[in-house]
Amino acid sequence: MAVAVAERRRGLVRGDAVQRILAFGALITLFIVFSLASPNFLQFDNVVGILLATSVNGVLALGVTFVIITGGIDLSVGTVMTLSAVMTGVFITNWHLPLPVGMLAGLVTGGLPAARAERSSPRCASRRLSPPWAC
């Protein structure tokens, strides 16, 4: 019985390693194809643009990583980020607030759902013994 469990676990680890190698290989393949298809792909301005476009998702992924490591999962990160970004734009353009004040108001707007979830979710999860996303 123990041998079968160990063999199954080893197969899962191998499968996970193969998936990671294939994902990295696909990324390298895309990089090579796009650099051959367009001489502008490897230009400094294009690389900076790609990094700027993906930086928000990278920061969000970093924050969600800690939530997942602690055993919970937060499905609202993208929604709260969008709410905060839209409200920051509304505060700056429609309400004509100065840039620092509008950015602070957008951060506060994004923090309100987080504060509300922090107050209700632990109580809900501890009472029902349910995962945090189910409350």
Distance CA 108, CA 24 (A): 38
Encode pLDDT of 7-66 as tens digits: 655 655 577 788 889 989 998 999 999 999 998 999 999 999 999 999 988 888 887 887
Distance CA 112, CA 79 (A): 13
Distance CA 116, CA 123 (A): 12
Q: Answer for the pair 60, 79: CB distance below 8 angstroms, yes or no.
A: no
Distance CA 130, CA 97 (A): 42
Encode pLDDT of 59-102 as tens digits: 888 878 877 787 777 677 778 888 999 999 999 999 999 999 99
Domain ranges of the chain: 1-42, 56-135
Q: How many CB atoms lie within 10 A of CB 84?
A: 21
**Cα radius of gyration rounded to whole Å, the chain:** 22
pTM recorded for the entire structure? 0.55
